[in-house]
Amino acid sequence: FFALFCTALNKLFFCVSVTSAGFAVVLKLSFSGFLSFLVYTICVDTLAAGIIVATVLWCITNHYMIKPTCRDQDVEWGYAFDVHLNAYFPPLIILHFFQLFFYHVFISQDWFVSLLFGNLLWVFAIGYYIYITFLGYSALPILHRPRVFLYALPLLMVLLVVSLVVRVNLCDALMGFYHYRVL
């Protein structure tokens, strides 16, 4: 299992490295800026955030979602981290790869359709994360009602509408955040 986990993690780190190179080009970062961005993306965005999210979901599933007949069993932390990494991949591809091709020519423009497109990328990315997390925990027969993870999807739609009404371009916010944290 550990060898398989390390192989998957290496593939994820490769994808993070490639998408970070894409961000370096789009953001016009120097080579040292790229290295700083890459280290931050791997250490903070992938590992630290993954550890935090996996730990929170591990605690929630073990404290609130174990079936009464299965109280002698629990969700392993490694499983929770694996679910997170599997769920992290589609948002990585959507927000760190696909978005890059559209950013300067379309998403960064001050048009409503650009705002809608960019924010929909976020909705799709977060929606994928939620759904894959749901699938990962649904595979465990010891959990009661893993569909509660899907309850976040309607909230996601409300947040989309709010972001459009107040004209917050989430893709611009991500680019600004990434650009200024490596300077």
Q: What pTM does this model have?
A: 0.90
167: left (phi over 0), alpha (psi -120 to 50) or beta: left
Overall average pLDDT of the 88-114 stretch: 90
Mean pLDDT of 51-80: 95
Query: Quick one: average pLDDT of 49-56?
Result: 97
- The pLDDT tens digits for 108-128 are 888 999 999 999 999 999 999
- Tally of CB atoms within 10 A around 38: 20
State the total domains in the chain.
Answer: 1
- For 23, the domain range is 2-181
Looking at the predicted structure, is the pLDDT value of residue 27 above 60?
yes
Chain centre distance of CA 183 = 23
Contact in structure between 23 and 96 (CB atoms under 8 Å): yes
Q: At what angle do helices 112-138 and 170-181 cross, to 10 degrees?
A: 80
